[in-house]
Amino acid sequence: MRYYIISGEASGDLHGSNLMKALQKEDVNAEFRFWGGDLMVAVGGTLVKHYKERAFMGFIEVLMNIKAIYKDIAFCKQDIAQFQPDVIIFIDNSGFNLRIAKWAKQEGFRTNYYISPQVWASRASRVKAIKRDIDAMYVILPFVEDFYKKYDYKVNFVGHPLIDAISDRPLLDEFEFRKKHLLNDKPIIALLPGSRKQEIKNMLSVMLSLVEDYPDYQFVIAGAPSQDYNFYASFIKSENVTFIENKTYDLLSISTAALVTSGTATLETALFKVPQVVCYKGSAISYHIAKRIITLRFISLVNLIMDKEVVTELIQNDFNKKRLKEELDLILNEEERKKIFLNYNELEKKLGGKGASEKAAKLIFNALQDS
């Protein structure tokens, strides 16, 4: 079978690569063409466009790059028509993917969505288009299945692929890891400032402002695969800060605490059982637009899944040195850490166990065979 997969950022690349591996087990003749990243490339197939080339964040940033986005949409349609896939699999990335899905459905292509657009967070009116344009939806968060039920749209909850990605990792030799990356024996506070340049600019300076207040800890920046060291270097002013590129899971596995930009990383941090402070700051205009259309109580996946505040969220003006220090002090306190660990254990149970990629791949392949 021919599979055309469209993902738009680092997390989509991760989930896309795991889905591709699972599809290969189901379909020995699987042929992939995709928009993604290095992890998907490593599985095999043909990369059409790397997510690094189109990582636009926020309303203003999207408007500034609207010509490039529409050019990509036109090219994607042309590329699909030429490839003639048996199924198109969309992964999150709703602004781009829902436009392609509308066209693809009209052209008679089978359309599947793996990891739903966040219609449960804002602009629920998009459900109408999803029901019209998407043949099958595979969701990874339990509350999303309940959300779609309200709109009489049956979706498949397959569990969260991060559980597999984390549990299937080989054990880390901490001594060798610290030695290789020139880390000392101090406990680690991991800094996860996001993957896009705009995010990192907004987050990292405030995170690093705490370094001198914690001489008994070492701060380690988790470098995103989409950026190189030279970009991060301009923010680093202290010898007590280390940069490690593209080793976030290894870093989290030995960290004592973490300061994390809101997104998939908050859930990854929780699954590694690392107490965290969730941070977010966007441009003023983007933030005020988002505030008017997003209807959620929380922004972090941890709190959304648990439906209560398990981790503190410092958003926009609350994300400052004073508040960040207060919250970091709190999650370094042993009693508070015990509460967080109990909530993290409950969170993992809610996510449905292992095998998300395999479940999704089996459902996709079986539906293709039955058609």
| Number of Cα atoms under 13 Å in the Cβ half of residue 212 | 7
Q: What is the pLDDT of residue 274?
A: 98
**Within 10 Å of residue 53's Cβ, how many Cβ atoms?**
10
- pTM confidence score: 0.80
More confident residue, 169 or 25: 25
Query: What average pLDDT does range 335-358 have in this prediction?
Result: 93
For 190-220, write each residue's pLDDT tens digit.
999 988 888 898 899 999 999 999 999 999 9
Alpha helices in the chain, H assignment, sequence order: 10-26, 38-43, 59-64, 66-83, 94-106, 126-133, 142-149, 161-167, 174-180, 197-208, 229-233, 248-252, 264-271, 284-293, 301-306, 321-331, 334-350, 356-370
| Average pLDDT along the chain | 91
Q: Are 45 and 33 in contact (CB under 8 A)?
A: yes
Query: Each residue of 10-29: b (16+ CB within 10 Å) or e?
Result: bbbbbbbbbbbbbbbebbee
- Domain 167-350 classified CATH 3.40.50.2000? yes
Of residues 226 and 366, more confidently modeled: 366
Average pLDDT of span 21-25:
97
- Is pLDDT at 29 greater than 80 in this prediction? yes
In this prediction, residue 352 carries a pLDDT of 84
Asked if the model's pLDDT at residue 62 lies above 70, the reply is no
Among the listed residues 85, 84, 82, the one whose alpha carbon sits nearest the alpha carbon of residue 3? 85
pLDDT given for residue 50 in this prediction: 94
More confident position, 162 or 64 = 162
DSSP string, 93-108: -HHHHHHHHHHHHHTT
Reported in sequence order, the residue ranges of 178-286 that DSSP labels E, i.e. its strands, are 188-192, 218-223, 241-245, 257-261, 276-280
pLDDT over 70 (residue 255)? yes
d(CA 100, CA 70): 11
Structure tokens at 334: 């042993």
pLDDT band at 151; cut points 50, 70, 90: very high
2-159+355-370 classified as CATH 3.40.50.150: no
Task: Give the distance from CA 255 to its chain's centroid.
Answer: 20
What pLDDT is stored for residue 287 in this prediction? Answer: 52
In terms of Cα–Cα distance, which of 343, 159, 354, 167 is closest to 249?
167
Contact predicate 80/100, CB 8 Å: yes
Which pLDDT does position 95 carry in this prediction? 85
Q: How far apart are CA 206 and CA 198, in angstroms?
A: 14
pLDDT class for 65, splitting at 50, 70, 90?
low
Looking at residue 59, its pLDDT comes to 53
φ, ψ for residue 262, nearest 5 deg:
-55, 140
Q: Is 335 helix (H, G, I), strand (E, B) or coil?
A: helix
Q: What is the dihedral of CA 169, 313, 241, 225, to 10 degrees?
A: 50
DSSP states of 118-143 as a string? STTTB-TTHHHHHHHH-SEEEESSHH
Tokens standing for 229? 């060291």
Identify the CA nearest to 155 among candidates 186, 188, 194, 116.
116
Specify the domain boundaries for CATH 3.40.50.2000 within the chain.
2-159+355-370, 167-350
Q: How confident is the model at residue 131 (pLDDT cuts 50, 70, 90)?
A: very high
Query: What tens digit of pLDDT does each residue of 268-297 get?
Result: 999 999 999 999 887 665 555 455 545 567
Q: How far apart are CA 93 and CA 116, in angstroms?
A: 9
Write down the pLDDT at residue 61. Answer: 58
Strands of the sheet with 218-223, listed across from one edge: 241-245, 218-223, 188-192, 257-261, 276-280, 312-315
